[in-house]
Amino acid sequence: MISPLLLFAAQVVSIFSVLLLATGYLKTDPKSASSKIFASISVFVVFYLLSGMGATHIDPQFRLDLSSWQPVINFGVSAISGLFMIYCFLIFQEGERFPIPLGVAFCLQVFFDFIADSMLRIDDPFTVSNLFDWSVVAMDVFQLAFVAFAIYWTVKGWRADLVADRRILRWFIISLQGSLIFTVVFIENFLLVGGSESNATGQAVIVYSIALFTLGMLVAALRFDFVSLSNVIRKVTEPSAELVGASPNFDKASFDSIFKKGQLYREAGLTISTLAKTLNIPEYRLRAFIHRQLGFRNFNAMLHDYRVEDASSLLIDSENSAIPVLTIALTVGYQSITPFNNAFRKIKGVTPSEYRKQHR
């Protein structure tokens, strides 16, 4: 038997925890797009929890009448997965252009869910057709796909991320958050007939999970705020004469003499662990050096910088005028032409072919 008071308390704890987390994020970084997206997600999660508090199986003394607000609530809830996808992209794919097809798919999913919800409210005859049912299932699959993309972008590039607190953020906050959203969407849309509002046990499990997760995040944020957590981590990775390399003389000049003059960046598939072994220094020291001394937040960004600089010299060399761009891309360490073109355009502002033409 589910305790109505315990369920109500869990819902209240979840709502306040989510709102406090959003407030803290906005206060820490009020101008960033990611903090605004996170705040929107938090508001819509509150919508989801409030919607559950109006279910028919809720004890009357704790039940809320939100029928007049239900269209707005449902609209917000349907946008959580897509917004979470955008949120993870902004944080972990910074500088990249958001895929247009995914943006279009997100807009279509939210629009169709709103139309479908409106049709159900007026008992439109089309809602009993197989086509309508399959369309609803397709939109539910879209939501799962959005969360899957978010988790993929979170995990992708973890080893190449040179900022320690961002790597912790990937695993202990975003990945867990993504797993929770994915699980809730899957349970709501595919396992529970009528959603959690029609299933007391299912709703209780979801609410308790959200309460535990959000409360845990809030406690962690209060115990280690963004500034103090960053300071604690920097004490471990702060570069100094002792930590930046195998010897006190290891600096940018000595790094360039080995990495740039030795053209180590040309090795295809080079990782930070293999580079650390080549330089004979611990990986965490190399991470700290590249981030603090060279100013890169991501190991792949550093590789792109060195490789594109090398490629640009090869492209404008008259002796290489007959060499295809693909060959030059392979020479400097890329394994295909697409990542080379993307990196070159991002750094130089033009494609490799255009750059070659401009410098003939």
Give tens-digit pLDDT for 280-310.
888 888 888 888 888 888 888 899 999 999 9
Find out whether 178 and 145 touch, Cβ atoms under 8 Å. no
Q: Two tokens at 8? A: 């109500």
Listed range (202-216, 221-235, 241-255) with the worst mean pLDDT: 221-235
Q: Residue 192 pLDDT more than 80?
A: no
Domain 238-358 has CATH 3.40.1190.20: no
Closest CA to 78 of 53, 115, 104: 115
Q: Tell me the mean pLDDT in the region 222-227.
A: 50
pLDDT category, 175, cuts 50, 70, 90? low
Give the pLDDT score at 305: 92
Q: Residue 205 pLDDT more than 90?
A: no
Q: Tell me the mean pLDDT in the region 178-206.
A: 77
**Beta-carbon contacts of residue 299 (< 8 Å; ≥ 6 apart):** 159, 160, 161, 162, 271, 272, 287, 290
Q: Residue 176 pLDDT more than 80?
A: no
Give the pLDDT score at 77: 92
Instruction: List the beta bridge partners of residue 161.
Output: 298
Give the pLDDT score at 217: 74
Listed by start position, the domains of the chain span 4-233, 238-358
pLDDT category, 194, cuts 50, 70, 90? low
pLDDT category, 23, cuts 50, 70, 90? confident
Give the type of residue at 26. L
Give the pLDDT score at 241: 36
At 150, phi and psi to the nearest 5? -60, -45
Q: Tell me the mean pLDDT in the region 242-257.
A: 60
Listed range (17-26, 105-114, 149-158, 190-199) with the worst mean pLDDT: 190-199
Q: Residue 107 pLDDT more than 50?
A: yes
Q: How many CB atoms are located within 10 Å of the residue 40 CB?
A: 17
SS3 assignment, position 124: coil
Q: Two tokens at 71? A: 């269209």
Q: Two tokens at 86? A: 């955008």
Buried b (16+ CB within 10 A) or exposed e, 108-136: ebbebbbebbeeeeeeeeeeeeeebeebb
Give the type of residue at 79. A
**How far, in whole angstroms, is CA 59 from its chain's centroid?**
38
Averaged confidence pLDDT in the chain: 82
CATH number of 4-233: 1.20.1070
Closest CA to 2 of 205, 214, 193, 191: 205
Give the type of residue at 32. S
Q: How many CB atoms are located within 10 Å of the residue 70 CB?
A: 14
Strand (E) positions, the chain?
A: none
Find out whether 194 and 259 touch, Cβ atoms under 8 Å. no
With residue 133 as reference, give the H or E element that holds it: helix 130-155
SS3 assignment, position 352: helix
Give the pLDDT score at 35: 87
Q: Tell me the mean pLDDT in the region 74-78.
A: 93
Q: Residue 248 pLDDT more than 50?
A: no
Q: Residue 232 pLDDT more than 50?
A: no
Give the pLDDT score at 273: 87
Give the pLDDT score at 220: 64
- Same fold across 4-233 and 238-358: no
Give the pLDDT score at 235: 36
Q: Residue 165 pLDDT more than 70?
A: no
Give the pLDDT score at 237: 36
Sign for the pseudo-dihedral over CA of 131, 136, 142, 148 = negative
Q: Tell me the mean pLDDT in the region 174-179.
A: 76
pLDDT category, 140, cuts 50, 70, 90? very high
SS3 assignment, position 161: strand
